[in-house]
Homo-oligomer: A and B are copies of this chain.
Amino acid sequence: MKIGICGATGAVGKEVIDVLFKRGFKVDELNLYASERSAGKVNKTPFGDVTLKEFSLDEAARNKIVFFCVSGEFSLQYGRDLAARGVIVIDNSSAFRMDLDVPLIVPEINPEMVHGHNLIANPNCTTAILAVALYPIYLHFGLKKVIVSTYQATSGAGQPAMDELMEQSRVVLDGGAPTATEFAYPIPFNLIPQIDKFQENGYTKEEMKVAWETRKIFGNENLAISCTAVRIPTLRAHSESVTIETERPVTVSAVKELLLKAPGVRLVDDIVSSPAKYPMPLTASGQYDVEVGRIRQNLVFGEHGLDFFVCGDQLLKGAALNAVQIAELVI
């Protein structure tokens, strides 16, 4: 099968290639598209060396599936045209996610929605990681309210942002004053409670994406979600502290049983052992499954309330893995 990747040298693009290889996806021809500046360079991949090409609709239309791992602007410019030529376009940007005619897919949740569509949207990273843990609970107990605070890694802002965290951390350790290029403020030994632009309602776009996209993926426009999205000095796994109110009474043991069987989820919840076990970037990074733990009956919603903690690899379930899972669904 001919597979194309736009943005093949970015943090997500690199992971898509890696995940395609590791999951044994049938790739007969791998076409990597990059900017004019990078075209002609040779890229080492697990499939062998591949020369980067400049993107054009005619060139890209030769593929069966093209992954867009680029900016929303690029997606808006080419996504629909390429899909109209019969190519399956799996778009990682937010360009089409809320379009009524474009399905927004988490394969563990709404796989049936892909049918009949060439243009398919991959959710926001924070949303995908949350949704895969939340959905089994939603199905069995119903959800009235979801309150999320995130601990998001620098990978969400791309490879240069990860590099900036590493480089500027060294500056701080050497006694210097860190500078910021990829972020609004220095990120080492700091946090930044803003991801993406502010909206009219005081939330950031990242925070609203979690609300908008979770509602669309679950097919429930009335789900009440409030999110606070915070960038912290970690590299590639997003964590989320989640408080929920369920429609029906819920217990910790019932939810643990559910999550043990849930696809895409790894229950990491052992507060008895020493050291205790719970989701952390240290263990969730590089893993396909989203870690869920710290599950407890909460103190604000009583028997209808649960608190838990989630950690998932932003570049995998939050991006590349979910995109490749969508491709697997399609073929």
A residues neighboring B (CB under 8 Å): 145-147, 149, 151, 165-166, 169-170, 173, 184-186, 189-194, 198, 201-203, 211, 224-226, 228, 230, 232-235, 239, 241, 243, 252, 271-272, 275-276, 278-282, 293-300, 305, 307, 309
Contacts and interface: CB of A to CB of B under 8 A. Distances in A.
Nearest to A305: B226
Contact of A201 (B146, B147, B235, B296): B296
What 4 pairs across the A-B complex have the smallest Cβ distances? A202-B296, A149-B149, A184-B275, A149-B241
A225 B243 CA distance: 11
A228 B276 CA distance: 16
A151 B307 contact: no
Contact of A282 (B166, B190, B235, B252): B190
A173 B235 CA distance: 12
Contacts of A282: 185-186, 190
Given A191-B232, A230-B241, 19 more contacts: A149-B241, A184-B275, A185-B282, A190-B281, A191-B239, A191-B280, A193-B239, A193-B294, A193-B309, A194-B278, A194-B294, A198-B272, A202-B252, A202-B271, A226-B243, A226-B299, A226-B300, A228-B309, A233-B233
A127 to B, nearest CB: 15
Contacts of A241: 149, 193, 228, 230, 241
Contacts of A147: 147, 243, 300
A271 B207 CA distance: 14
A189 B309 contact: no
